[in-house]
Structure 1
Amino acid sequence: MNNLIVYVHPYNKSYNHAILNAVQANMKKNRKKFKILDLYKDNFNPAYDARELGLYSKGKTCRPQVEFYLKELKNADTLIIICPFWWNGVPGMLKGFIDVVMKEGKGLTHENTMMGVKGELVNIKHTYVLTTSAAPTFYLKLFLGNGIKRIFLNKTLKQLGMKKRKWINFGGITRSTKSKRNRFLSYIKEYKFR
């Protein structure tokens, strides 16, 4: 199985980076193959320019990095996204990754049909979105409309064809204790990623 990790955080001393390290430890312990797309480290540009947008309807790109990312997505069985929960949603860098890398066309990431979007990333059998948030998880779910699950997982990623989508959040990070953060990292190190 090919596990692809998309990591979206600019600071390598963040708790998100600690989660990335825990996921890598998990993969190594279980002898799973994995690759990491570190969007900030790769200096990924999440914005379209006129030339790139002009190629969208043809399913093409003028950026080798986008071609590489698309190839990695098409080869993955499992996708693990690690990012913070900022302003009620995923970071702009991740949204831009979806905007720019997801190409329309047969054999790419999706097709537009008479019935709507038909996902082509059916090779991704398991999708995990690991986030951190200042607000407690119950607050995000009950009072903020559960946007990550309702929109990002059950609309965007589902439309792209990704299967078995799961959201795991470490909420209340700003008021958390070191022992609580360590327990969560231990949980991730032992988690059964499929």
Structure 2
Amino acid sequence: MNNKVTVIYAHPYTGSFDHAILESVTAELSAKNSEYEVIDLYQDNFDPVYSNEELRLFSSGIAVDPKVKAYQEKLKSSNVLIFIFPVWWYGLPAIVKGFIDKVMLNNFAYVDTNTGIKGLLSLDKCLTITTSKSPTWYLKYFGGNNIQKVFLNLTLKGVGVKQTKWVNFGSIKQSNAQTRKDFLQKIRQAVAKLL
């Protein structure tokens, strides 16, 4: 089966290491002749804040923002997701949280049941790639492990993602050219495995 990959990228600075990760990911997808699209939340000027109208329609699952509708169409036609973003304050940047809040709507990404939510998306796999000033072990053992416990295990699995994997480049301030190069190679290998 051919994979259709949607990459959700969130970093405002094109000179960032996150941007280098994005370039490595898309280079590997191209090398493998994979069909993919990139959602660049900052480039798209995505507004992560709910409007009064959006909250009024929340329970019906109706999207107002045309960008949300376009993102939903991309997700519907995908079976693999790749998220790329920095870890800020031990969790998701606001723009990524807003993407989840506004795009993963009731009757699109999930339905309510008597025992919680049931995911509606047919997403086989999700690779989440992050960067952080803190070491990865600190995020996991002292920082609440929010990416793994909340974002992957609860949020993404809750909307129907079957397999999730998290790879973090920690201690970014102490990194050097060689450790960054090695990580980009590791990412290309992770993307190849994902396909």
- Aligned partner letter, 2:194: F
Give the distance between the partners of 2:64 and 2:175, measured in 1 at CA. 44
Structure 1 counterpart of 2:11: 9
> So what's the TM-score if we normalise by structure 1?
0.96
Q: Cα offset for 1:172?
A: 0.6
Question: How many percent identity over aligned positions?
Answer: 42
- Aligned partner letter, 1:94: V
Establish whether residue 127 from structure 1 lines up as the match of residue 126 from structure 2.
yes
Task: Please list every run of 5 or more consecutive structure 2 residues that lacks an aligned counterpart in the other structure.
Answer: none
Structure 1 counterpart of 2:194: 193
- 3-state secondary structure, aligned to 1:167: strand
- Aligned partner letter, 1:193: L
Structure 1 counterpart of 2:114: 114
How many residue pairs align between the two structures?
Answer: 191
- Aligned partner letter, 1:42: D
- 3-state secondary structure, aligned to 1:163: strand
Structure 1 counterpart of 2:181: 182
Q: Cα offset for 1:54?
A: 1.2
Establish whether residue 34 from structure 1 lines up as the match of residue 33 from structure 2.
no
Deviation track 1:150-186 (CA, whole Å, cap 9, x = no partner) reads 1110011111111101100001100011100011111
Structure 1 runs (4+) greater than 4 angstroms displaced: none
> So what's the TM-score if we normalise by structure 2?
0.95
- 3-state secondary structure, aligned to 2:194: coil
Deviation track 1:49-75 (CA, whole Å, cap 9, x = no partner) reads 111111111111222111110111111
Give the distance between the partners of 2:21 and 2:6, measured in 1 at CA. 15
Let me know the Cα RMSD of the aligned residues.
0.9
Establish whether residue 20 from structure 1 lines up as the match of residue 22 from structure 2.
yes
- 3-state secondary structure, aligned to 2:42: coil
Give the distance between the partners of 2:125 and 2:63, measured in 1 at CA. 27
Give the distance between the partners of 1:185 and 1:83, measured in 2 at CA. 14
Q: Cα offset for 1:124?
A: 0.7
**Please, which moves more after superposition, 141-150 or 73-82?**
141-150
- 3-state secondary structure, aligned to 2:160: coil
Superposed, 1:42-81 pairs within 5 Å as: 42-81=44-83
Structure 1 counterpart of 2:99: 97
